[in-house]
Chains A and B, each alone.
Chain A
Amino acid sequence: MVSIRLENLHKDFGGSVVAVDNLSLTFDEGSTTCLLGPSGCGKTTLMRMIAGLETQTSGRIFFDDLDVTKLKTRKRDLGMVFQYPVVYQGTTIRQNIGIPLRRENMTTAEKNERVDEILDLLGLSDVANTDVGNLDYATKQKVAVARAISRRPPIVLFDEPITNVDLTAKLQLKLVLKELFTKLKQTVLYVTHDQTEAMTLADKIALMRDGRVEQLASPRELYTNSQSVFAGRFLGNPGMNFLGKNDSSEIIAQLLGNRYTEQVSSVGFRPEDVVVSADQTPGAVPAEIEHVAIVTGGQHLVTLKSGVRIVKAKLPWHVPFTKTDGEHVWWSVPETKVRAFDSAEQLVPSGAVAVGS
């Protein structure tokens, strides 16, 4: 299998529009990396450059030690799946999957065996001889995935493959893909703006913003050890709570204790780390309940208001919560769960207590 290495890769569309900003990083061989970020962060452009469908302004791309920067798409030996399910009308599923194998140096028996294997992997064996024109969106996308991997290219790229699939099929496709990634051990890059998708599928997530990679880490690491305000805000549902120094310096000092320094400009903490109690506890902040909702998973999502500050708390489903709108409570956050950021919105060196402590 093959690793993908980027060296100062840069792409701008003339003038100030920078899609990918001087990126240098490596995607490990055999790993699944999700490029996660909001629309327009450059994730698709980055993937298209790796595929050779877009030309970089400067910088280089390596597959292992091979410089592919100037190599044509068709010589890069890739598989790719797009958001739009590409199937060749007038052919059956089986024929579709066989198309990329036509030029391969394999006997017919080997090709058939390969197609059978892929059909089985994606659970398409029963419908193998169906004409692709009659398939629903999700199944068409499955066929596209199957075709992309049928040649067994060492690198497979996915560009938001299940964004337009309906919810039930999405869940099923996600499982199929996860199994596929584990079994085939190809180097996979997967573009998505859906954090749940990224969390489920990725070995590592590259969180992107404005053409830069904010953080490249495992899903759990990225969530619990967010290195920037952006990572804190983008991940989680809802994202981190943030308190700024200009209106909340006292609370910040209280939350950080002896970690408080001049450098700190804001603090962030995850809603599920907020502890809400009816009685005052040391270090707790008084608040009024603005709203209580039940969210997916049965947790209570409580919106608290302390003066002008809004803090969201996500409370476990198994702990009864009887307070309602307008009642007064106290909230606090364990000191180890509070993260401090500087004025550039990056984690300050003493901003986090090591994970697990």
Chain B
Amino acid sequence: MTKPMTAPTRRSGKDTAKTAGYYSLLWVVAILFFLPILWIVMAAFKSNTAILNTDYLFTPTLDNIKSVFDRPNVTSQFISSLYLSIGSVILAVAVSFPAAYAFSRWKFAYTDFLMFLLLSTRMVPAAAAIVPMLLMFNLFGLRNPFGFFLLYTSFSIPFSVWILKGFIDGVSERFDETAMVNGASRLHVMFKVVLPQVKPGLVAAFIFNLIFVWNEYLFNFSIGSEGVRNVPYGIANGLVDSGGNVDWGFLAAMSSLYLIVPMLMIFLFQRYLLVGMTFGTVRGDV
């Protein structure tokens, strides 16, 4: 099959100017949003005096970064953050996919209501749940990595199910039926026929929840114990030194390091993420 030829489009000068105008505007907005991040990253390489003087020109130093890792617990906080977020989100997506498949394919009575109920667990403000959660976690001895693993997984499931159901709805049931007629089992249909077609949904669910868990501070601070302290906790906890001064250098360095994981994930999965943002609303059925 030959590729369709596209005629080179000739734009008038007015159009070009218009396009250029739009793009400049977009760039201005993008830079405006990016400035705080730039400021933080720059501050990570400044001395404390340079930060407070808001110097634009400065001699970069690695002192802040080095001092971050000189502190006790920082490494373990990064490790906790990594395995708690990545682990719990992978588990959440793994559990959510079969659930979403069931919700999509077996439309028994009250399916919609059940879906609503699932999401309603996220409607109570997290702060309101702190005390009961603390009591419960104490009672069951869950204030440990395992307990937090469960906590974050359960927080990630409702949203993942919603995203994935949207995607699975977009895969015609005729795919399932064709495969079954050809001798496939339901499990084969789920994992070999439907799963490959909802990859963008899996990635979207993964990234959205990862960012949520990666940012989680409230529960970690209030009901966590030594073994589960994550980076947001570390930042808040290490912010003020023994003399009562805010250690801006530490804050900037830790925050910059902290940004790496989400940025890396988004960079790696960006081609899926754009599709994921539409929540699979582009349907293929007739």
Contacts and interface: CB of A to CB of B under 8 A. Distances in A.
A89 B197 contact: yes
Interface in A66-87: 72-80, 82-84, 86
Interface residues of A, number: 30
A142 to B, nearest CB: 15
A59 interface: no
Interface string A150-167: 010000010000001000
Choose among B172, B181, B285 the residue with the greatest number of A CB atoms under 10 Å from its CB.
Answer: B181
A53 B193 CA distance: 17
Nearest to A75: B183
B177 A151 contact: no
B222 interface: no
A84 B183 contact: no
B67 to A, nearest CB: 50
Given A86-B175, A164-B286, A74 B1 contact: no
B181 A73 contact: yes
B182 to A, nearest CB: 4
A82 B178 contact: yes
B151 interface: no
A130 interface: yes
B286 A100 contact: no
Contacts of B10: none
Interface string B178-211: 1011111100000001001100000000000000
Contact of B185 (A74, A77, A89, A127): A74
B184 A74 contact: yes
Contact of B182 (A82, A99, A127): A99
Given A89-B197, A130-B1, A134-B1, A83 B286 contact: yes
A51 interface: yes
B1 A73 contact: no
B171 to A, nearest CB: 10
B279 to A, nearest CB: 20
A103 interface: yes
B14 interface: no
9 contacts: A73-B180, A73-B181, A74-B181, A74-B183, A80-B177, A80-B178, A84-B174, A100-B183, A148-B178
Interface of B: 1, 172, 174-175, 177-178, 180-185, 193, 196-197, 285-286
Interface of A: 51, 53, 72-80, 82-84, 86, 88-90, 99-100, 103, 127, 130, 134, 144, 147-148, 151, 157, 164
